[in-house]
Amino acid sequence: MPVGHSRTCSSAGRHDMDPLEEDLRRMLAARARAEVPDDTPVPRFVPPDRRDRRPSWLLMAGVAAAVVAVVLTVTLLPRGGSPGAVGGPGSTGGAVPPSQTAASRTTPPSGTGTNGSTTETTALPSTPPRSTPPRSTPTPTGTGTATVPGGLVGLSWEVAEQRLVDAGLQPYKITVGSPLPVDEVILLEGVSAGEEVAAGLSVGVAVSDSSLFVMPDLVNTTLDQAAQMLQSLGWTGSADSLVISPVEVVNTAQIGVIVSDAAACQAATSPMGGYNLPKNGSTIRVCVGTPKMLSIEPVAGLTVYEAVQTLRDRGFTFVSAVNVQLTPPLGQGNRVLDTDPAAGTVVRFDTPIVVRVYPSS
């Protein structure tokens, strides 16, 4: 059929064709003019009948399928990869083994692909990454809870501090006056052993500065003995620095020693035993027994028995009677002449008193 036959369709026939069919016809005609020799038969284009438009719909479906295939191919390819990286020989289809993680991948310098695009190569490790065993560390500050350890009272600050840190707490030292050894734990401030608290909580630990001493019981000790006892506890004073308050006693065992007769000595021992005192600069008052001084009662003219009893009732502890070799006055036989020491003399309660008695007349 002559080539120009396809170009001699009637105008009525062109109006019967869809725009897509008309474009296809023109494209085929142009191709025929450019590529087909004069002696090559050109197939005749037969316009489809209005009642049967299946060839046009099939063509549109084919074009749509081609577009979808191109989109899927571009979408499934890895960034910068080549078609062989997806489903190609020796590939894994772009899947990463389960043991492969982002942290274990190494990315070498990027290169240039065959189409001029930049590509990246991801090298997989030859062996699975090793897992690091968990470390025993305290609970981070402000995360979770922590249990206050017990048995800290009486320990040193260093040991208690480490145990609190290991428990996930933040200890800090509070120094207080105490007679305990230096840095010995006295108490925990605001928490108790076994209590559940917030991790990282700041816990005050009261420790001793050993600046105090416990006042001992000094009763029945001499001044020198008391000073030595106090100095052994850290007191910086001496026997001469003790403030003495005398108290009269009628017991020879209490003379020269510290007594606790508060009625006779208002100061007694001050402070009393058991009180905490500073080692430096503490003033200590003590009551020291001194012999009671008595005045000898006049007993002249009394019988010997009356005189002795009177003096003993006065507080004298050593009273005796002797006969004098004198002629008694009328009616004074077996009566007291006088005393030695003489009546009215003030002497110690334990001074020997001699009652002199006339012989019987």
Q: By percentage, how much of the chain surpasses pLDDT 90? A: 45
Domain tally for the chain? 4
Residues 184 and 163 occupy one common structural domain: yes
In-domain check, residue 121: no
Across the range 5-9, mean pLDDT stands at 41
Question: Closest by alpha carbon to 21, among 40, 51, 45?
Answer: 45
The predicted pLDDT at position 9 comes to 41
Instruction: Please give the structure tokens belonging to residue 260.
Output: 């606790």
Instruction: Please give the structure tokens belonging to residue 194.
Output: 């076994």
pLDDT band at 22 (very low <50, low <70, confident <90, very high): confident
Residues 14 and 35 occupy one common structural domain: yes
In-domain check, residue 1: yes
Residues 313 and 270 occupy one common structural domain: no
Domain that holds residue 284: 215-291
In-domain check, residue 162: yes
Question: Closest by alpha carbon to 124, among 97, 153, 162, 84?
Answer: 97
Confirm whether pTM is higher than 0.95.
no
* Residue-by-residue DSSP string for 211-272: -EEEPP--TT--HHHHHHHHHHTT----GGGSEEEEEEES-GGGTTSEE--TTT-SS-SBSP
Residues 149 and 187 occupy one common structural domain: yes
Residues 229 and 261 occupy one common structural domain: yes
Write down which residue in 48, 64, 79 finishes a domain: 48
- Give the strand pairing for 276-278 and 212-214: antiparallel
Over residues 76-119, the pLDDT tens digits come to 655 544 444 444 444 344 443 433 333 333 333 444 443 443 33
> Cα 281 vs. chain centroid, distance in angstroms?
35
CATH number assigned to the domain comprising residue 187: 3.30.10.20
Question: Closest by alpha carbon to 6, among 59, 16, 22, 37?
Answer: 22
Write down which residue in 257, 291, 325 finishes a domain: 291
Residue 32 has pLDDT above 90, yes or no: no
State which amino acid sits at residue 123: A
Over residues 181-205, the pLDDT tens digits come to 999 999 999 999 999 999 999 999 9
In-domain check, residue 284: yes
In-domain check, residue 54: no
Gap between the Cα atoms of 63 and 83, Å rounded = 22
Q: Is the peptide bond before 271 cis (omega within 30 degrees of 0)?
A: yes
Residues 232 and 266 occupy one common structural domain: yes
Torsion, Cα of 151, 156, 162, 166 (10° steps): 0
Write down which residue in 193, 208, 223 finishes a domain: 208
SS3 content of the chain, % helix, strand, coil (to 5): 25, 20, 50
In-domain check, residue 68: no
pLDDT band at 361 (very low <50, low <70, confident <90, very high): confident
In-domain check, residue 199: yes
In-domain check, residue 140: no
